[in-house]
Chains A and B, each alone.
Chain A
Amino acid sequence: MELGRLEYLQALVTEFQVTDSTGKKRRCSLALSVSSISSHPRPFSFSLAEAKEQVLANLANFAYDPSNYEYLRQLQVLDLFLDMLTEDNETLVEFAMGGLCNLCLDKTNKEYILEANGVEPIINCLSSSNEETVVSAVTTLMFLTTPRSRAQTTALPVVECMLRFSLSANTRLSNLASIFLQDYCSPPQVEEARNLSRHTAVGIPLPKD
């Protein structure tokens, strides 16, 4: 059973990686993987991007279950998630961010992400216009906060951003931002950010509707 699962995950990741290579190759392998798993006779159309999204979504969902972590690490899915954070495709970013949010509480995963300088791209996700991406990023930053990393995860621009999020009409976002400020930031930090935002407009913008 373990091997079966590993192979399945491997197949997913292979599918993904292959879709990243040159055009001709890409289409070929994609057609193959589709026909092998399709149970519907009628034809349908989907794009390369959709296939990538589906695979990433699956991996991100697997990342919710701790029993998969060892496999995911072996398959370097953590790196995959981190790489996807800088993609243009908003959906890929959303799913990758969700995947990271799901697995970053595990100590080994957390250390890996921190070592790989993952905090920076995650902070950048705070400016995404995608609600899920932002929400996942806020939570991930909280989960990644350690004595060593908190200087980075609770840097001034981040705190300032959270201040603004905490005032959002979006309850999910404001709740998470409030928790961030209350539980992960010191009062002086929050005060400093408040003072800063009073005087300047610099900072991370709120997600657009």
Chain B
Amino acid sequence: KMAAGTSGGPGAPCRHHAQLGACESRAKYREGWRPRAVKCVYTINLESRYILIQGVPALGVMKELVEQFALYGAIEEYHALDEYPAEQFTEVYLIKFKKLQCARVAKKKMDERSFFGSLLHVCYAPEFETVQETREKLQDRRKYIAKATNQRDCFMLKKVEGPKKTASNNSEHDCPCSTSGSSIASNWDPSCFTNSPGVSHNTAYAAGNQNQSLLTPPHYDNNCAEISGYFGQNTSLTPSVHPGVCTPPASLMQHRKVPACNGIDRFMPRTTHLQERKRKREEGNKFSLIRTSEDNTEVVIGPQLPEIPKVDMDDESLNTSATLIRNKLKEVADSVSTSVEKPESSSAKPVLKQRRRI
């Protein structure tokens, strides 16, 4: 039942933890009518960086379990939940991912999977979030929608007098987010929402803060909040990034760059991924109100440059690879431009590809 009835906080079993049988993910189209397909609607409230894993065999395999899940992304925290009701000979674990996206994939892939002979049940555990974490989650969702739909929320851009200061005033700052070089930012990268020069908001809040703190003590988890510069909570506006203050061993804090390659291979062939993204892009272009022209007709003569669309691949490892390739090509192109060009290579087909004159 709902945790509201019990005194237990985050540890108490909640209704949405119950094994719902074949609970389809939101992206999964109906493949066939499953008689007992339990309906499940995924909203941002249900999803979380925290995931609960039930059915782990009590064989002292925590290390292996965490390693398995770490394939899907950096893990911030993990521990066994001893108080949580578990079937005989099984244990329950809580894993907190650094990014919601990783938790989503991990859940999808690891749910109903056999692990040391036992079937795991993986679900989200949003009730473990702090207020700030929930807040950030909602903000990330805002940013994602704004970016995906090429919109700026009109509400965010307007200077509203008084208390209005929903956090994603940093939707204004989306641009630097997606183009910043080194940040292989996925859509959910909270580091985007940084020192917002929206200082104006805070003035209205400064007085209010004292009152508000009486209402609900903010569950302010300083340890693992990536960005803490949220107006309502702090007196200071500067975000403080806490690198690696969290508990898990350093080996798990490494970025996905290395292990993710293995993880991605499990999901889907890379070409399918790319094709899927291409298709989505084309679809998006077809229906978007603001047509982004790709200037295919621009004719520039010179050595043929390969087309590398600079899109956010929605995935950190793919973005890493894409950036590496892009940089490498840039390197090569730069070096080529200084050498003498042979007549043959600059001939023909000027229409589709961009070229440069040496």
Say yes or no: is B57 at the interface (Cβ < 8 Å to chain A).
no
Q: Which interface class (under 10, 10 to 19, 20 to 34, 35 or more) fits B? A: 35 or more
Partner of B167, one of A131, A167, A183: A183
Contact B45 A135 (CB under 8 A): yes
* Interface segment, one of B129-137, B325-333, B350-358: B129-137
Query: Considering only CB atoms, which chain A residue lies closest to B143 in the complex?
Result: A105
Contact A172 B166 (CB under 8 A): no
Residues A209 and B44 in contact in the complex (CB < 8 Å), given A106-B149, A186-B163: no
Contact A185 B129 (CB under 8 A): no
Residues of A within 8 A of B208 (CB): 186-187
A2 to B284, CA, bound (A): 10
Distance in Å: Cβ of B209 to nearest Cβ of chain A: 8
Say yes or no: is B155 at the interface (Cβ < 8 Å to chain A).
yes
Say yes or no: is B77 at the interface (Cβ < 8 Å to chain A).
no
Residue with the highest number of chain A CB atoms closer than 10 Å, among B215, B218, B284: B215
Partner of B5, one of A102, A166, A209: A209
Residues of B within 8 A of A62 (CB): 26
Residues A169 and B39 in contact in the complex (CB < 8 Å), given A1-B279, A40-B32, A191-B211: no
Query: Considering only CB atoms, which chain A residue lies closest to B279 in the complex?
Result: A1
Contact A187 B127 (CB under 8 A): no
Say yes or no: is A101 at the interface (Cβ < 8 Å to chain B).
yes
Say yes or no: is A34 at the interface (Cβ < 8 Å to chain B).
yes
Say yes or no: is A142 at the interface (Cβ < 8 Å to chain B).
yes
Interface of A is mostly: helix
A71 to B160, CA, bound (A): 33
A143 to B29, CA, bound (A): 27
Say yes or no: is A126 at the interface (Cβ < 8 Å to chain B).
no
A171 to B42, CA, bound (A): 18
Contact A66 B138 (CB under 8 A): no
Say yes or no: is B232 at the interface (Cβ < 8 Å to chain A).
yes
Residues of B within 8 A of A (CB): 1-7, 9-10, 15-16, 24-27, 29-37, 39-46, 126-131, 134-135, 138, 141-142, 144-146, 148-149, 151, 153-155, 158, 160, 162-167, 204, 207-208, 211-212, 215-216, 218-219, 232-233, 279-280, 283-284, 286-287
In the complex, 21 of the A-B residue pairs with CB atoms within 8 angstroms, ordered by the A residue number, are: A37-B30, A46-B35, A61-B26, A61-B42, A66-B144, A94-B41, A95-B39, A102-B41, A105-B142, A106-B149, A146-B155, A166-B215, A170-B4, A171-B3, A172-B126, A175-B130, A179-B138, A182-B218, A184-B163, A184-B164, A209-B1
